[in-house]
Amino acid sequence: MITKDVFNFLKKLKQNNNRDWFHEHKTVFKELELGVKQFYAQVYEQLNTVDSIDTFKIFRIYRDVRFSKNKLPYKTHFSGSFHRTKPELRGGYYLHIAPQNESFIATGFWDPNKEDLLRIRKEFEIDSEELRELMVQTEFKSVWGELQGDELKSAPRGFDKLDPNIDLIRRKQFIFTKKFTDKEVLSKDFGQQIITDFKVIRPYFDYMSAVLTTNLNGESTL
């Protein structure tokens, strides 16, 4: 489980985000990082009992500042992603651990490639009823809220700006998130709560996977 020591370290790192301080406390960081990695591994194992996950990745604490105006060298959170088994299963899961009630989980499609994005938009152009019905289901909405992500200001090329589904067609990302308080993250049941919430997203993944593995005639492309 995630401990208070993890949050305390991240708070101190935020106040002392420099290489000298981090080097002095690197031994402590490595000990805490090991525990966090074990927690992510447990989530991976549990998630694989309800879905098919081929890999998971924990992102490094070091920031890539080469092309960023923010030159602080370290992230002040832990994060990792879980990838569903392609090509049949699409979508991914993300877990973000940060103090001061900034932890959250996320699911969906962060950066669909050009072909997938066009296929999704073409599906919405034909019919979005199934997705819209799914998103207003009581359990789904209570856990995941509203669809989020970047979107275009107007219709993408080749699509009608007056299309009744233009609100979906404009989207470039298709993401859902859920926030957690520090108290919830520190609970011994946090790992199981993550799995419970991720299970609720499955109808959305099933829908999007069906779209992305078929053509507009409903024929398999696998």
- Residue 99: band (very low, low, confident or very high) from pLDDT cuts 50, 70, 90: very high
Q: Angle formed by the axes of helices 202-212 and 114-126, to 10°?
A: 100
pLDDT of residue 94: 98
- Residue 127: band (very low, low, confident or very high) from pLDDT cuts 50, 70, 90: very high
- Residue 67: band (very low, low, confident or very high) from pLDDT cuts 50, 70, 90: confident
Residue 134 · residue 128 · CB < 8 Å: no
Average pLDDT over residues 21-41: 97
Place of tokens 């927690």: 39
Residue 91 · residue 198 · CB < 8 Å: no
Q: Which residues pair with 92 in a beta bridge?
A: 83, 108
Average pLDDT over residues 86-91: 94
Percentage of the chain surpassing pLDDT 90? Answer: 96
- Judged against a pLDDT cut of 90, whether residue 91 lies above it is answered with yes
For the stretch 168-189, pLDDT in tens is: 999 999 999 999 999 999 999 9
Least trusted range by pLDDT, from 8-17, 67-76, 115-124, 126-135: 67-76
Q: Smallest Cα–Cα separation from 53: which of 85, 7, 90, 27? A: 85
pLDDT of residue 65: 84
- Judged against a pLDDT cut of 90, whether residue 157 lies above it is answered with yes
Residue with more model confidence, 158 or 69: 158
pLDDT of residue 69: 85
- Judged against a pLDDT cut of 90, whether residue 70 lies above it is answered with no
Q: Is 38 exposed, middle or buried (0-12, 13-18, 19+ CB in 10 A)?
A: exposed
Rounded Cα–Cα distance for residues 27 and 31 (Å): 6
Percentage of the chain surpassing pLDDT 70? Answer: 100
pLDDT of residue 68: 84
Structure tokens at 124: 């919405």
For the stretch 34-43, pLDDT in tens is: 999 999 999 9
* Element spanning 184, H or E: helix 182-186
pLDDT of residue 66: 86
